[in-house]
Amino acid sequence: AQKITQTQPGMFVQEKEAVTLDCTYDTSDPSYGLFWYKQPSSGEMIFLIYQGSYDQQNATEGRYSLNFQKARKSANLVISASQLGDSAMYFCALETGGFKTIFGAGTRLFVKA
């Protein structure tokens, strides 16, 4: 069975500092994708970054990078130079089989000025 685990219910970070949000996953499917989404208080899920199971390099998108450790089944999100607007819920998600995406419980990030 597929599973996504986010163990940090809440995280605090000082503005302009980097922060790592943890995500571990479990799947027996050799082909899968890992996603991170941001959900502000408005409710809309905003796509941040994607990592494929066969990708050799860690994904990066601007200030976002994904620290993919396949043997450990972890896919942590790193946000560099945090901004006040980064305060939101962050969800890690696992996609297998192309049509079903499983989301973790989320981590709420608070950025302090």
Residue type at position 25: Y
- Beta carbon of residue 45, minimum distance to another protein (angstroms, whole number): 4
Stretch that binds another protein, among 17-25, 69-77, 80-88, 96-104 (CB under 8 A): 96-104
**Residue listed under structure tokens 């419980």:** 105
Which of the residues 12 through 31 are near another protein (CB under 8 A)? none
Position 85 contacts another protein (CB under 8 A): no
SS3 23: coil
Report the phi/psi class of residue 48: left, alpha or beta, with left for phi > 0 and alpha for psi in -120 to 50.
Answer: alpha
Nearer to another protein, 86 or 95 (CB): 95
